[in-house]
A and B are shown apart, each in its own frame.
Chain A
Amino acid sequence: MLNAEKRKTILLLIPIIVVLIGYVLYPSIETSIESFKKDGVFTFENYNDFFGEKAEANLEALWNSVWISLLSVFFSALIGIPLAYIFNRYDFPGRKFFSSIAIMPIVLPSLVGVMAFMYLYGEAGLVPNIIKDLFHLSEVPFSIGGISGILIVHAYTMYPYFYMTTSSALNNIDPSLEESAYNLGANRFLVFWKVTFPLLTPGLVAASLLVFMVSMASFSAPFLLAGGFRVLSLQIYFSKINGDLEMAATQSVVLTAVSISFLLFMRWYQNRRDYRMASKGIGAHRSEVSNPVLKWFMVVIGILAMIVLLLPHATLLILSLVPEGGWTWQTYPQAFNLENYRLLFENPNIWDPVRNSLIMASVASLGVFVFGIITSYALVKRKFFGKNLLDILVMIPWVLPATVVGMNMVLAFNEPSIFSFGKVLVGTFWILPLAYFVRFIPLVVRSTTAVLEQMDDSIEEAAQNLGAKWFYTFRRVVIPIILPGVLSGTLLAFVQAVGEFPTSVLLYTLGNRPISIEIMNQLRMFNMGQAAAYGMIQVGLIAIVMIISNKFFKVKTENAL
């Protein structure tokens, strides 16, 4: 009978392992193998080309990626930490409202965000031109583009990681620690540097590494803004477009190596010192700001921050109302109407991408939903040999930059394999849902694991004791209890899949082109109105999902990030 338990575990593990090997491990291995091939023979030549003298472009791209990422970490921290400190530690009018606005950047899919920034602060952007006209300047006073553009977009989209970790860390710090420091005679500055900051460090290190990894993988910002500037994730795309799959594979391996070493470093660091949860459940203490000058100063900061944070959203909305041809050579848009939205529903050509995105994201979400439940359950509640290995395997897609996931799919499924039932998947409809599925496995597994870990083992035992068989227990007790966590992860996966750009651009076909691709196409045709309308649809979907999961499942979707 010992075997009955073991048999169940094995039955659970078989599909998990097949999926992970087939769609995570095998594609990664294919990429590695490809990177050692040149014209079909085994060789190190690709790596020679990468690191050697003759291919400066690659090394330059790697170096650029690294320093851009470091700067992104720096700027994100510079914005995120003080904002979190102010919003969590001081009480002033509108604080709650401002702090809920602070995470707004995460509802912008990366491509849409970049686009909004372009039209906001770019050469022909609204802000520089308005300033120019207001002050009757002959030239726009500033504009973003290239490196500065990438950095600003990164700072805007990634500072929430710092904001959220700092906020939660601040709320978990036992107020008496700081109070005792004050009591011992330390001033505000000293208390912050000697007590608060050290307690925040573990969270901050985690956030830094996360931002580093995300900006190493960042694709949309360089794609639209880089100009001639080379970064590694973009180089992969160019190699692929130029048909040099071997080089693309090599670049993917290098990018992966950098990301994985950072992940390992992060794990090691977190295991070494993690006292974030040490004093949980202690409410934040906020100082009431009594000095009126200071108080209004804070409110002004809040309002300014709010405007800066919401400008991209507003721009998107405004642009989406500009019909085709409504803003060409003029400084400002000339016409506003709902034409773009009308076309969405009337022109099948324009509606198709939306439908494709919805279908493909739904398929992928359904996949991660089922797979996430089974995998998390096995990881949390079952004992088996090699659990750590499985855990790592599940998290691989989280470390892999999206571009690399895309390349893995290309290289694994551009020829028949048993995992694709002997068919070539590249160029078919199914390749994109599969790529989305792989990308978002970790998201669902992590959010599900979190709720499962909180579910006491005795709940399952109680059901069993009352005579319920394992499957009945699983269906009627386990799933209903963990459903909020699973759903919040799945919904987040859904909206991210709807906005997903890097894998889409590597794998789409005419028949399954998703919204992001159509945004790119419309931008190429300078029809920013239609592009913005697509963007609005993505933003709207994300907003709906976040509201649903907040209201109905009492789960903060952003926590799954």
Chain B
Amino acid sequence: MSTVNLSTITKQFGSVTAVKELNLLINEGEFFTFLGPSGCGKTTTLRMIAGFYYPTKGKVLFNDKDMTTIPPEKRNTGMVFQNYALFPHMTVFENVAFGLKVRKLNRSETKKRVEDVLQKVRLEQYIERQVSQLSGGQQQRVALARALVIEPDILLLDEPLSNLDARLRDEMRNEILRLQRDYGITTIYVTHDQVEALTMSDRIAVFNMGVCQQVGTPTEIYNEPVNDFVAEFIGETNLLPVTIEEETEKEKVYRNNDLDTSIHVNNSKVNIAFYQESDELLMSIRPEAVQISKEDISGENVLKGEVILVQFTGASVHTYVRLNNEVTIRTTDLNEGPSTYLTEGTKVNVRLPANQIRVIPKARK
């Protein structure tokens, strides 16, 4: 087990900067996720930790030990590749035993440990199978077992679930979590599936175009995004451009020109992100935080609008309310039966609670 410390890492491929000045400290035993759209540098970062790429600039440290130039075979990381990379000419046993053989463990010890780990991933009855005769999910578990059996200091997983169907993916998520908790290994997980990231991780790093935008726990990332990229990438949100109007100790008042209205926001760390004088500002409010009602609502930030679309998704109901020609707000409510659905064309009042709004700067390009 160890900590991973990336200090101002930059990786360039020719003229392409895949990762730019990244600083990260990943704690011991943590389940840490890299999240971001395609091509944002997640795999590149992971491969620098595994040692397949050397950073153009910066350092990789495991437990304060400089690993920047150590070759991959001496890093004791266990990696699960996106395509599993199982050795096609070996059986399940031979695949899993490979790392132990390299470490020159004796036969009986190897056998015992392979059997143990295969039991953990529930594959003990497939031990003598050729890997090509396994299903996708089983192959993935072999890959996981192969990485775990060497008791790596760090477990690296690059989109290990992307090839699986939805149900198997769900099952494997739990399995990976269970194993990670069992072994307590520092784990770095790469995905572009936000549900996966939010449900599994201790902490998440959100990447965009080679730059790490935010690091935080799932709730921090969701509730306190640092900029509009993070707010939009994780979950759904309503974004409106705003400018500051006035500030008191308890609240700040912003102005939105499209609605020609003032918006009151609690003056707290949760509601106001850090920004600079020169930043363009946006207010973000999650659909589930918006309140709508056919009756009059009193208080601040109440607007009038008309329902233009109602979407039923099962557990929840999305209602789109047009406030004026420029602005449409999306709201989400839990499904409480047909009698509560609004119909299109209904005039409604919309409230944006002052403690639910978050004011954020536009992400710098």
* A-to-B contact residues, CB < 8 Å: 1-2, 4, 456, 458-459, 461-469, 472, 476-477, 480-481
Contact = CB atoms under 8 A, between A and B. Distances in A.
Contacts of B147: 465-466
A465 B71 CA distance: 9
Contacts of A459: 85, 87-88
B73 interface: yes
A1 to B, nearest CB: 4
A461 B83 contact: no
A2 B54 contact: yes
Chain B residues touching A, majority SS:
loop
A464 B72 contact: yes
B305 interface: no
Given A461-B72, A466-B102, A456 B89 contact: no
26 contacts: A4-B71, A458-B85, A461-B52, A461-B72, A461-B85, A462-B79, A462-B86, A462-B87, A463-B87, A464-B72, A465-B50, A465-B73, A465-B147, A466-B73, A466-B99, A466-B102, A466-B146, A467-B73, A467-B76, A467-B99, A467-B150, A468-B99, A469-B102, A476-B98, A480-B89, A481-B89
A477 B69 CA distance: 24
A384 B69 CA distance: 20
Contacts of A458: 81-83, 85
Given A458-B83, A465-B78, A467-B99, A1 B52 contact: no
Nearest to A469: B73
B81 to A, nearest CB: 5
Interface residues of B, number: 29
B77 to A, nearest CB: 6
The 3 closest A-B pairs by CB, nearest first: A466-B99, A1-B69, A462-B85
Interface in B88-110: 88-89, 98-99, 102-103
Interface of B: 50, 52, 54, 69-79, 81-83, 85-89, 98-99, 102-103, 146-147, 150
Nearest to B149: A466
A467 B102 contact: yes
Given A1-B54, A464-B72, 9 more contacts: A1-B69, A4-B71, A461-B50, A461-B72, A462-B79, A462-B81, A462-B85, A465-B147, A467-B76
A48 to B, nearest CB: 52
A480 B73 CA distance: 20
Nearest to A483: B89
B143 to A, nearest CB: 8
Contacts of A477: 87
Contacts of B86: 462
Contact of B98 (A1, A4, A468, A469): A468
Contacts of B75: 465
A465 B73 CA distance: 5
Given A1-B54, A465-B78, A456 B87 contact: no
A466 B98 contact: yes
Most chain B beta-carbon contacts within 10 A, residue among A467, A476, A477:
A467
Most chain B beta-carbon contacts within 10 A, residue among A4, A465, A480:
A465
B83 A467 contact: no
Contacts of B87: 459, 462-463, 477, 481
Contacts of A461: 50, 52, 72, 79, 81, 85
A461 B102 CA distance: 14
A481 B69 CA distance: 29
B73 A468 contact: yes
A456 to B, nearest CB: 6
Most chain B beta-carbon contacts within 10 A, residue among A462, A477, A481:
A462
A481 B150 CA distance: 23
B97 to A, nearest CB: 10
A346 to B, nearest CB: 45
Contacts of B52: 461, 464
B70 A1 contact: yes
B264 to A, nearest CB: 54
Contacts of A467: 73-74, 76, 99, 102-103, 150
Nearest to A468: B102
B89 A1 contact: no
A249 to B, nearest CB: 46
B147 to A, nearest CB: 8
Contacts of B54: 1-2
A456 B98 CA distance: 18
A153 to B, nearest CB: 42
Nearest to A462: B85
A456 B85 contact: yes
B85 A466 contact: no
A469 B71 CA distance: 9
A35 B69 CA distance: 53
Contacts of A466: 73, 78, 98-99, 102, 146-147, 150
Nearest to A465: B79
Contacts of B103: 467
Contacts of A2: 54
B73 A464 contact: yes
A462 to B, nearest CB: 4
B71 A1 contact: yes
B134 to A, nearest CB: 16
Contacts of B77: 465
B222 to A, nearest CB: 33
A148 to B, nearest CB: 51
A464 B50 CA distance: 10
Contacts of A481: 87-89
A1 B71 CA distance: 7
A464 B51 CA distance: 10
B213 to A, nearest CB: 28
A464 B147 CA distance: 12
B160 to A, nearest CB: 12
B94 to A, nearest CB: 10
A461 B52 CA distance: 8
A462 B152 CA distance: 13
Contacts of A469: 73, 102
Nearest to A3: B69
B130 to A, nearest CB: 13
